[in-house]
Chains A and B, each alone.
Chain A
């Protein structure tokens, strides 16, 4: 009996010793890969300093992470606002495999960083890899994302051309009901910014036809109507927008503010100031 107890204790001690030797002293490649993955997971829970330290240590040791691994290290750093790290990793990923990374990178720079010029660089390069195919970075038609970049840069006519191309691209395979309502809404916003209220109202209506709960479309349509002295109808649409927002109907995202997103306080302020 004592002999067996000794054997079990020796067995446990040897296992612990081997594990210490392997993971504390030798540290094989797999240790650093696991270490970086744990670091990334810790960042998801908000421990970005500790997580980044683990990731950086692993990168220093291995130096040959793939583009998708660098991409993954970047994601949580954007969510936690560590912009230097997020961009450093995406630059590395994009350098390694631009054809895989540039779509996401451009989309991210557009929505999360509002860095329109840099976003355009990556989106254009991504688009050039497949000239006969319209890509969908993160689910958005690439022509739509490029149009948003030009709109952000104040290049409204160029943006309008691209919105039209995005609509044509969608209509190649499907009917109008398949066009994401944001495409029409953003075209309407651009026309509105150019001072073409009547044409903008036409596109706000197209958006509403696709989604009759689009609070943002009712809001901006109302503003456009007030601008062309159709105040009564305009006010009515502002009130519809307010009612929709109060009921939770509007386009939004969990992480980042969308372009021309509307808020209850904003609509109330506008109505009160009329």
Chain B
């Protein structure tokens, strides 16, 4: 019974939950999480870290420690869009941090353009969503997670 309820609700959501925004999503616009589709970036997290290492400029003023979580969609062609962000302090509470940190980290995420789209069970390219969490301490990037 419980499984039946899960399936029913998930089916309803899959069939009607479409996201409209700056990115052309493929097919019905259904998005699946990165961990179910095998969404990948050319060069892996190493390449992403290199991009941030080369482009991010340390911010020495204001509230300059915390975590910027950037969530975005990657369509079946590997194009990105619909960027959203949330910022946390180092105790994982929602907070605001220096605009320059947020703007830079989101802008660099927007420039990541070597995504290999995720696939479904039939090996067809599909839409995925992904997040990156950038941990910044005293204005410097210390970690980029999850992978």
Which residues of A are at the interface with B, using a C-beta cutoff of 8 A? Answer: 34, 37-38, 41-42, 44-47, 50, 79-84, 86-88, 112-115, 253-257, 261, 263-266
Among A255, A257, A266, chain B packs the most CB atoms within 10 A around the CB of A257
Complex contacts, A80 vs chain B, CB 8 Å? 33, 131
Given contacts A83-B67, A112-B146, contact A263 B2 (CB under 8 A): no
In the assembled complex, 24 residue pairs joining A and B whose CB atoms fall closer than 8 Å, in A order, are A34-B2, A37-B2, A42-B13, A45-B10, A46-B33, A47-B13, A47-B17, A79-B35, A80-B131, A81-B131, A83-B88, A84-B88, A84-B93, A87-B92, A88-B92, A112-B146, A114-B135, A114-B143, A254-B35, A257-B145, A263-B43, A263-B44, A265-B43, A265-B47
Distance A86 CA – B6 CA, assembled complex (angstroms): 22
Chain A residue, CB-CB nearest to B142: A114
- Whether, in the assembled complex, B133 has its beta carbon less than 8 Å from a beta carbon of chain A, the answer is yes
Q: Does the CB pair A265–B147 fall under 8 Å?
A: no
Distance A260 CA – B122 CA, assembled complex (angstroms): 34
- Whether, in the assembled complex, B45 has its beta carbon less than 8 Å from a beta carbon of chain A, the answer is yes
Q: Does the CB pair A266–B46 fall under 8 Å?
A: yes
Complex contacts, B143 vs chain A, CB 8 Å? 114
Chain B residue, CB-CB nearest to A81: B131
Complex contacts, A82 vs chain B, CB 8 Å? 69, 86
Q: Does the CB pair B13–A50 fall under 8 Å?
A: yes
Minimum C-beta distance from B14 to chain A (A): 8
Minimum C-beta distance from A69 to chain B (A): 15
Distance A80 CA – B36 CA, assembled complex (angstroms): 12
Complex contacts, B44 vs chain A, CB 8 Å? 257, 263, 265
Chain B binding site: helix, strand, loop or mixed by DSSP?
Answer: mixed
Complex contacts, A37 vs chain B, CB 8 Å? 2
- A81, A253, A266: the one contacting B69 at CB < 8 Å is A81
Minimum C-beta distance from A35 to chain B (A): 10
Per-residue CB proximity of B129-147 to A under 8 Å, as 1/0?
1010101000000110111
Q: Does the CB pair B33–A41 fall under 8 Å?
A: no
Q: Does the CB pair B13–A257 fall under 8 Å?
A: no
Q: Does the CB pair B92–A257 fall under 8 Å?
A: no
Q: Does the CB pair B5–A83 fall under 8 Å?
A: no
Per-residue CB proximity of B63-96 to A under 8 Å, as 1/0?
0000101010000000000000010101111100
Minimum C-beta distance from A42 to chain B (A): 7
Distance A41 CA – B39 CA, assembled complex (angstroms): 21
Q: Does the CB pair B32–A45 fall under 8 Å?
A: yes
- B5, B32, B36, B135: the one contacting A34 at CB < 8 Å is B5
Distance A255 CA – B51 CA, assembled complex (angstroms): 21
Q: Does the CB pair B46–A83 fall under 8 Å?
A: no
Q: Does the CB pair A79–B43 fall under 8 Å?
A: no
Taking A46-B36, A47-B17 as known contacts, 17 extra A-B pairs with beta carbons closer than 8 A to each other, sorted by chain A number, are A38-B6, A41-B6, A44-B33, A45-B36, A46-B32, A47-B13, A80-B131, A83-B88, A84-B94, A113-B145, A254-B35, A255-B146, A256-B145, A256-B147, A257-B145, A257-B147, A266-B46
Among B2, B50, B91, B145, chain A packs the most CB atoms within 10 A around the CB of B145
Minimum C-beta distance from A153 to chain B (A): 12
Distance A220 CA – B44 CA, assembled complex (angstroms): 18
Within 8 A of A (CB), among B91-143: 91-94, 129, 131, 133, 135, 142-143
